[in-house]
Amino acid sequence: MLNQITLHGYLGRDTELSEVNGQNGTFSKVTFTLAVSRDYGDETDWFYCVMYGKRANVLDKYFSKGSEIIVRGRMESYKPKTDESRTNWNVRVEDFNFVGKKSATETAPQGFTEVDYDDEDAPF
């Protein structure tokens, strides 16, 4: 079975970077919303996204509200503590790419896709 999703859209708000404690120590966590337009009509789908590890710091540094991005990852479901009768979904981002024009103040880091990242960076 395969659980994989690729999305191309725009950040709906600034990223939120935090530190979380896991089994192997403290890890960076970045969250953001992603707006993806449908191919038809004027409708937009919104996705809540989360990324862990060293690359979360890169994403937080170079992306903000309105930035165009491609993310790849998997869908995850969870029960919110406030209402366990509901099921919420988010995109667990495993990789991302810069897209579109860079502004004069925004420069992509050289070799950003080669940042060391592995499952040990995940807090679970």
- pLDDT value at residue 38: 87
Going along the chain from its start, the domains and CATH numbers come out as 5-107 (2.40.50.140)
The torsion region of residue 8 among left (phi > 0), alpha (psi -120 to 50) and beta comes to: beta
- pLDDT value at residue 120: 47
- pLDDT value at residue 70: 96
Distance CA 123, CA 23 (A): 6
> Which residue positions in the chain have pLDDT lower than 70?
101-124
Distance CA 120, CA 53 (A): 9
- pLDDT value at residue 118: 45
- β-bridge pairing 68-78 and 88-98: antiparallel
